[in-house]
Amino acid sequence: MNKIKNNLTEDMDPKESRVWVIGTTVFVTGSLLNFGSYSLAPQSLLASLEAIQFVTNVAFGSLVLGKVVTARMYFGTSLCITGTILAILFSSKQAAVLESVDDLLALWLNPLWIGYIITIGALGVGIQAINKP
The answer on 89 and 101 residing in a single domain is no
One domain, residues 53 and 10: yes
This prediction has a pTM of 0.52
Give yes or no: residues 110 and 78 share one domain.
Answer: no
Domain carrying residue 70: 3-95
For residues 127 and 116, the answer to whether their CB atoms sit within 8 Å is no
Measured CA to CA, the distance from residue 37 to residue 67 in angstroms comes to 32
pLDDT at residue 1 greater than cutoff 70 = no
Distance between CA atoms of residues 56 and 62, nearest Å = 10
Same domain membership, residue 71 and residue 19? yes
> How far is residue 116's CA from residue 36's CA, in Å, rounded to a whole number?
28
pLDDT in tens, 83-110: 889 888 887 777 667 788 888 888 889 9
132 pLDDT tier (thresholds 50, 70, 90): confident
Do 118 and 78 lie in one domain? The reply is no
- E strand residue ranges, the chain: 3-4, 8-9
